[in-house]
Amino acid sequence: MKSSLEPDDIQAIAEAVMERLKPSIAGNGKREYEDVIFDKKSLAAYLKVSESTISKLVSNKQIPHFKIQAGQSGGVPFRQRDIDK
């Protein structure tokens, strides 16, 4: 069974979708920051720089990061909300 939509129906659907997406697109949504945590590799991809650049920024304290508690491993983590600021 195949159904077709009228152009006005398609336009109404598109407008409803855009209305729901506006908070996310504008950055004003309830979930503006979901506390995304990056490792060095994913942050490098996010910022479109090399991992060595991230390492230099960390060692020169030019990029916000936080320390992992003693006994845990995994490198230096970065919060997206801090990076975006």
Predicted confidence (pLDDT) per residue in 7-64, tens digit: 888 888 888 888 887 766 665 545 554 678 899 999 999 999 999 999 999 999 999 9
Whole-number pLDDT of residue 45: 94
Whole-number pLDDT of residue 53: 95
Q: Coil, helix or strand for 39? A: coil
Domain residue spans of the chain:
37-84
Rounded Cα–Cα distance for residues 5 and 18 (Å): 18
Confirm if 76 and 40 have CB atoms less than 8 A apart: yes
Rounded Cα–Cα distance for residues 71 and 78 (Å): 18
